[in-house]
Amino acid sequence: METVRHSEHTLKTALISENPRLVSQYEKLDAGERRLLNEAFKPDHDLFGPITLHSQSDWIISHPEAPQDFEQFFSDPYRKAPSPDKRSIYIQCIGSLGNTRIISEEYIKWLKGYCEAFFYGLTVKLLEPVPVSATRCSFRVNDNTQNLQIHAGHILKFLKKKKPEDAFCIVGITMIDLYPRDSWNFVFGQASLTDGVGIFSFARYGSDFYSSRYEGRVSKLQKGSSSDYAVFDNYYTPQVTSVLLLRSCKALVRWIEDESDSPGVSTKRGREGTVDLPKPVDAFKEWKEWIIKCLAVVQK
């Protein structure tokens, strides 16, 4: 096990810029906001805390990348930013997100609300859900997990064709596991920054996915069934819990990190056809405490 920890000097070198545009933006911040940013350089601050690497298969070790400071990120000519005519994020649901239509709709509302809060100022629009068959993607049964998987690259091509003119990006979401190519076991998501499209699966965020009792396991596809999308009819979707909701929200904004599992929360139907879904904030206690600490600094 290894821990990556950056010194105050390293953080300041990476984050402080002399770019006139960035300096101008910093000067517009009030005193509290500046204090909050300065807190980030302290060794005991949570914002850039140490990262624990548990094995050689951890992403940072197995996928080395060249360092990038904030000014390089800001000046990257390939970095896309919203424009007046492209300020909408579209969410395309592929397959069911819940075991009933009502649960799926409530789930989508939470994802939409989280995106709107995270990407403040952009409009988040929901496209009508489509079945897997509409994408004409390839699919298979994973040899290790025995669960169905759909081809991420084929989904991206489908989304590119559906991308509206005013879209900053279009993001596909699904409860079905993904794979990018035959030689890969799985992938959580895949995106094309050039085309502004992405697909993310929340299947593995379910608390029972890696359990031997996972109900999404299927037998091998029958001969000739590799193009029969009926196999996805009534396919298993995991129970919607507060942790699953929070993980899904964070994945959707590419803010994915490990969260500890918590007991599932049952779903109850309300009197008027509504459901009482657990809220993502129920699993947000750790981050709530961090936000309170930040507010305390700003309000000094």
DSSP bridge partners of 247? none
Assign 139 to helix, strand or coil.
strand
State yes or no: pLDDT of 225 exceeds 60.
Answer: no
Average pLDDT over residues 193-197: 86
User: Is there a contact between 127 and 265 (Cβ–Cβ < 8 Å)?
Assistant: no
State yes or no: pLDDT of 169 exceeds 50.
Answer: yes
Note if the pTM is more than 0.75: no
Residue 96: predicted pLDDT? 80
Sheet holding 148-151, edge to edge: 139-141, 148-151, 177-179
Token representation of residue 296: 């305390």
Of residues 13 and 240, more confidence is placed in 13
Neighbouring residues of 95: CB distance < 8 A, sequence distance ≥ 6:
129, 131, 132, 174, 175, 176, 232, 235, 237
Pairwise CA distance, residues 249 & 149, whole Å: 21
Pairwise CA distance, residues 281 & 225, whole Å: 41
Residue from 172, 207, 201 nearest 186 by CA: 201
State yes or no: pLDDT of 256 exceeds 50.
Answer: no
Assign 234 to helix, strand or coil.
coil
Residue 255: predicted pLDDT? 32
Write down all domains in the chain, each with its CATH number in brackets.
Answer: 2-79 (no CATH), 88-291 (3.40.390)
Least confident of 37-41, 71-75, 198-202, 239-243: 239-243
Residue 167: predicted pLDDT? 93
User: Is there a contact between 55 and 96 (Cβ–Cβ < 8 Å)?
Assistant: no
Q: What is the DSSP string of 245-284?
A: HHHHHHHHTT-------------EE-TTS-EEPPPGGGG-
What percent of the chain is predicted at pLDDT more than 90? Answer: 17
State yes or no: pLDDT of 248 exceeds 80.
Answer: no
